[in-house]
A = this chain, B = another copy of it.
């Protein structure tokens, strides 16, 4: 593997095949191609990726099923969010040397156009280059709209968050606390549970590695769960339904427990509770809230400025480690938002 001579070579990890069951490094193929044409059309920019972001939902993009976004084509670079530096520009909105965010994929370089499905997002000068991928990234926006718009928590209500140590879940915990709720988190392992409790401010945390989640929920939520923000699905979703309160809301953000299943697993056996308890269970996709991003960013930056948001970044390095870094999400090894660093900005950010 080349070191990625920025003058001549574009390293890429292509999606080689659609995974069956757990995604593996063998599902990807390494390739070196020439640097994309520097002969840009009007409006285009050439970017160099600095940081890649990883999210559990990427497993879904690899599958050839109808979804909210088309699957990654086989033989193309794996789709991924990245913060990149503009190194050539035919677009005054994105000057050379500035930072942008977009779906630039698992490669060193990409050409971006204003009419891309996700247009390049210019980052304000001085933005730390990891922040748009972590605390000011899509995962925080997901937390914001999922909790507040779909979950509709009221002060004093009990909010349950699964995947509470994750990039989305940890922000849900903290926004729910800011809104005056009592918050119970579910996470895997003592280290993560401690962080959710001590740094994110959850009132209680259940360690699903060592505790019986259903039993603990019964103890911790004797009056039921008003809002359940679920990132996990499977048995964790079933446990939450078991203790959902009358008129409870279940925010379906994702089902990481099931993303890598080769065969579909049974759903919750206790769906009848949704009727008797008049529960609203609702899925959502953050991309549907694009027109309200400003509102969320304003609140998130205000809370950051007030020191009310904790977050962690798990930064791996090395182009060769990109596929392995994705796998860290599915065995829970990541400690905080999973990133991978490819390069430093050529000019101080």
A residues sitting closer than 8 Å to B (CB atoms) are: 60, 66-68, 233, 237-238, 246, 252-255, 258, 264-285, 288
User: Is A281's CB under 8 angstroms from B282's CB?
Assistant: yes
Q: Which residue of B lies closest to A241 (CB)?
A: B267
CB-defined contacts of A264 to chain B, threshold 8 Å? 269-270
Within the complex, what minimum Cβ distance (angstroms) separates A183 from chain B?
22
Partner of A275, one of B253, B265, B278, B279: B253
Contact between A268 and B267 (Cβ–Cβ < 8 Å)? yes
Count copies of this chain in the complex. 2
Q: Which 3 A-B pairs have the closest CB atoms?
A: A266-B266, A267-B267, A264-B269
Q: When the two chains form their complex, are residues B272 and A255 in contact, meaning their CB atoms are under 8 A apart?
A: yes
The chain B residue sitting closest to A268, CB to CB, is B267
In the complex, the chain B residue whose C-beta lies closest to that of A247 is B288
Q: Which residues of chain B are near A276, meaning CB under 8 Å?
A: 60, 66-68, 283, 285
Which residues from B are CB-within-8-Å of A268?
A: 267, 271
Select one of B60, B269, B277, B285 contacting A267, CB under 8 A: B269
Q: Is the CB of A254 within 8 A of B271?
A: no
Q: How far is the CA of A6 from the CA of B258 in the complex (A)?
A: 62
Cα distance A279–B275 in the bound complex, in angstroms: 16
Could you say which of B60, B67, B237, B282 contacts A280, with CB atoms under 8 Å apart?
B282
The residue that A278 contacts in the complex, of B233, B278, B280, B288, with Cβ under 8 A, is: B288
> With A68-B277, A266-B267, A278-B288 in contact, is A258–B272 under 8 Å at CB?
yes
For A66, the chain B residues whose CB sits under 8 A away are 276
Chain B: minimal CB distance from A261 (Å)? 9
A280-B280, A281-B282, A282-B280 as given contacts; A254 in contact with B267, CB under 8 Å: no
Residue of B nearest to A238 (CB): B267
A281 touches B281 (CB 8 A): yes
| Contact status A267-B278, CB under 8 Å | no
- A280-B282, A281-B282, A282-B280 given as contacts; is B271 within 8 A of A267 (CB)? yes
Give A251's nearest chain B residue, CB to CB.
B275
CA distance A277 to B68 in the complex (A): 7
The listed residue with most B CB atoms (<10 A of its CB), out of A253, A254, A282, A285, is A282
Closest to A253 in B: B275
Residues on the B chain within 8 Å of A280, using CB: 280-283
